Structure 1
Amino acid sequence: MIISVVGGLIVLYIIYKVPLFHRNWQGLMAFGAVHWVVGTSARLALIIIGLKIDPFYNLRTLDGERLAYSNEAARDIYFNTLRQSWT
């Protein structure tokens, strides 16, 4: 999430600093399209080479013990806890 926020701030800074984007919606849309293509390509590349980042697998108890030893079990625990907190 921090990476997304920092990336968004960088994009806003580029839009603010580059005069082409100040009153030129076509330039801004082209920049957005390129940004989307590069981001999507990077995600696809990560999936293809097998670098799966799964935040559910790293769930731990307050003692530091691993909560689950598989991604599916960790997801079940996470979503069941979330569901119980809403009821």
Structure 2
Amino acid sequence: MQRIYEPENLLEAELLIGMLSSEGVKVHLAGRDLVGAAGELPLQGLLGLAVADEQAEYARALIAAYNAAQPLPGDEPESLPGILIC
């Protein structure tokens, strides 16, 4: 298994797990149980997505596409131009 990504928070982690799982990638979320101790532990590096070695490259490509997503023209609110609102 390879640790391929450190999500910012548990919400992003769950979103990525769902996306990767829908593409047939088996994902393990390391550090899920540590989030409750965030006041006692450093916030960086608590969470990590890990996948099998043979799926690591594909999973990284999917996450890169997720991070590069841009709003479609006309889908963004006028008050927040250039911001992707889901």
The alignment's TM-score, normalised by the length of structure 2, stands at: 0.33
More strand by proportion, 1 or 2?
2
Normalised to the residue count of structure 1, the TM-score between the two structures is 0.32
